[in-house]
Structure 1
Amino acid sequence: MKISSMVQIRGSIPLFWSQEASPLNIKPDIILSKKDNTFEATRLHFENLVKRYGNPIIILNLIKTHEKKP
């Protein structure tokens, strides 16, 4: 008998970012506040996923390449 399972996780991109809150702007721009040229945060994120769930880790990119401005 073969048994399998799947875990789906949604979340933010493992980057350092912020947004300035403003009552006049419902969709403020994203500010990349710290450059991580070695992708250390990303590496740690995926190492944690492998430790918790094992391999393979499959990534689906849901990032919009363009967004309409209000």
Structure 2
Amino acid sequence: MLLRILLIVGLGLLIYFGIRRIWLDWSKKFKSDDEKARLARRERDLAERQRPDVIDLKRDDDGTYRPKDRTGRDADDR
């Protein structure tokens, strides 16, 4: 009887720690993938800022975003 209880408890612990290990490995993998995606987005955004057709906006006192050049002309000098 004691052997049967120890066997069931041992199997239960093996199953518990196996599932826990799988859960932690998957969580680590998903976090790693999210970090790679975040870095890729950041690199893409930085590359897009360097394009000549991108207009830099500055938040004005009233909360509206406007081009930095306040002379009335667009940033691309149409």
Q: Same fold (TM over 0.5)?
A: no
Q: Normalising to structure 1: TM-score of the pair? A: 0.24
| Larger helix fraction of residues | 2
Q: Which structure exhibits the higher relative contact order, with contacts defined as CA atoms closer than 8 Å and separated by 6 or more residues? A: 1
Which structure's CA Rg is the greater one?
2
Q: With the length of structure 2 as denominator, give the TM-score of the two structures.
A: 0.22
